[in-house]
Amino acid sequence: MALHFPDMGESDSRSALLNGVREFAERRIAPIASKVDEEDRIPPEFYTEMKEQGLMSMLVPEEQGGLGLSTSLFAEVLEMISGYSGGIGLSLEAHNSLGLGHFSKYGSKELIKSTMPGILESGKPVAWALTEPRGGSDARGMETRATRSGNGFMIRGTKTFITHGYTADYIVLMAKTEKGITAFLVDGGSDGLKREQIKGKLGTRGPDTATLSFDDVFVPETNVLGEEGHGFEQAMELLDGGRIAVGAMGVGIARRALSLSVDYAKQREAFGSKIAGFEGIRFGLAELGTSTEASALLVKRAAELRDAGQPHRKMAAMAKYLSSQVAMEATRYAIQVHGGYGYFKGNVVERMYRDAKLLEIGEGTNEVLKLVISSEMFR
């Protein structure tokens, strides 16, 4: 099915789609968001529901059985959802932009044909394993090795902080062969793969996190993604997209935090009048509203460049760098506006404050992003 819209203008189709996502977020995500956070668990049946909704195959091209959304539209969908649940937003972000995104973009035709339908049908997220215990930011220094063995490779090493790592049926793994860093699609049922769940995340709770140990895990040659030795470039290319998506999550969290604050300020009274009338409240909202829209424009610009096939590494890094900080500031201020009520568990802004923190760390810490941005500036 061709998913362009010959009958309607681009903006009509976009708004129809986003209205659908908003309705799903309000009716299906908002009621469970607090439980997802509290239990640090997204129920399997909710993944099935998200699959049926189309949310588990957003970036997969139509010919592979996905929705084939543009980066721009995908970012807007994530923005909308992350405002309601950072945990569910993160799960969709990591699965669509990294795990499934990597496989879909670099898997061979044969591997896509044999494996993609099952992945899409299962509705289960695909994990993406780059970070290691000794270093997340220093990806080139990874220690996981893939050694040639028969018609494939034997993998040894450890990956950690892997989102969906505990439950994923498939893991996209970066490991070093003699030709350099290489990406593999690893079957979650492989012998020698051990998973240990990591509990206790501060925010974006919901998707599981795990440490994965590979003790001579065999992966057939056919499961190499793209060319051997090109895994690092692939990962960086995927992260460029991922950073736009994380940037969009930040915009969504900031926008909703501010909108909840406006609603609260309109009804909360102090000193005999609504606090919405106080400049002390209004000016902060004005400042953060401005920063939020500025970061939204950066995310939009980076997404448009990616969609147009233009260089966008710097813009994507800038988008995440700015929007993650704005999300932190906006949620911090939202708690301030809510006062004591905002400080307690069960209040949405308290959760959003914790959710926002991840955005300054995941998919490149903001320090790494500053390296990326400056190295692009000095090229």
Instruction: Name beta bridge partners: 343.
Output: none
Confirm or reject binding of residue 16 to another protein (CB under 8 A): yes
User: Which residue's CB is nearer to another protein, number 335 or number 358?
Assistant: 335
Apex CA 118: angle with CA 204 and CA 86, to 5°? 10
The number of residues in the chain equals: 379
Amino acid at 109: K
Residue 363 is among the residues annotated as catalytic for this protein: yes
When binding is defined by CB under 8 A, the residue of 29, 55, 120, 127 that contacts another protein is: 55
| Interaction of residue 53 with another protein, rule CB under 8 A | yes
Minimum gap (Å) between residue 166 Cβ and another protein: 28
Size of the site for another protein (CB under 8 A): 26
Shortest distance in whole angstroms from residue 81 CB to another protein: 12
DSSP collapsed to 3 states, 74-126: HHHHHHHHHHHCHHHHHHHHHHHHHHHHHHHHHCCHHHHHHHHHHHHHHCCCC
20 binds another protein (CB under 8 A): yes
Q: Does position 30 bind another protein by CB under 8 A?
A: no
Cα(25)–Cα(33) distance, rounded to whole angstroms? 10
Token readout for 176 is 């070093």
Q: How far is the CB of 20 from another protein (least distance, A)?
A: 5
Consecutive H or E run containing 231:
helix 231-267
Q: What is the C-alpha separation between 343 and 349, in angstroms, rounded?
A: 8
7 scored as a contact of another protein (CB under 8 A): yes
User: Quick one: which of 121, 143, 154 has its CA closest to 223?
Assistant: 154
Distance in Å, CB of 332 to another protein, minimum:
23
Using CB under 8 A as the binding rule, whether residue 5 contacts another protein is answered as yes
Choose, from 79, 132, 360, 363, the residue flagged as catalytic: 363
The residue (of 53 and 374) whose beta carbon lies closer to another protein is 53
Of 16 and 297, nearer to another protein (C-beta) is 16
Interface with another protein (CB under 8 A), residue from 36, 59, 60, 67: 67
| Position 277 contacts another protein (CB under 8 A) | no
What are the distances in angstroms from CA 80 to CA 37, 252, 325? Answer: 18, 6, 18
Q: Which residues contact 299 (CB under 8 A, 6 or more apart)?
A: 75, 79, 244, 247, 248, 250, 251, 319, 323
Among 6, 150, 189, 280, binds another protein (CB under 8 A): 6
Helix and strand numbers, DSSP H then E, in the chain: 12, 10
Residue 269 in contact with another protein, rule: CB under 8 A? yes
Number of other residues whose CB lies within 10 A of the CB of residue 5: 13
Instruction: DSSP letter for 142, please.
Output: -
* Residue 92 CB, nearest approach to another protein (Å): 12
CA 75, 76, 80: angle at the middle one, nearest 5?
Answer: 115
Which one-letter DSSP state was computed for residue 135? B
Max intra-chain CA distance, the chain: 79
Question: Which CB sits closer to another protein, 62 or 138?
Answer: 62
Q: Which residue, 3 or 236, has its beta carbon nearer to another protein?
A: 3
Residue 273 is a binding residue for another protein (CB under 8 A): no
Report the alpha-carbon distance of residue 206 to residue 69 in Å, rounded. Answer: 24
- Considering the complex, state which of residue 28 and residue 332 has its C-beta at the smaller distance from another protein: 28
User: Which range, of 12-20, 87-95, 149-157, 182-190, touches another protein by CB under 8 A?
Assistant: 12-20
- Asked if 195 touches another protein (CB under 8 A), the answer is no
**67 or 127: whose CB is closer to another protein?**
67
Of 48, 54, 195, 289, the residue at the interface with another protein (CB under 8 A) is 54
Could you give phi then psi for residue 271, rounded to 5 degrees?
A: 55, 35
d(CA 245, CA 309) in angstroms, rounded, equals 16
- The residues annotated as belonging to the active site are 363
- Please report, as ranges, the residues that interact with another protein according to CB under 8 A: 1, 3, 5-8, 12-13, 16-17, 19-21, 23-24, 27-28, 52-55, 58, 67, 267-269
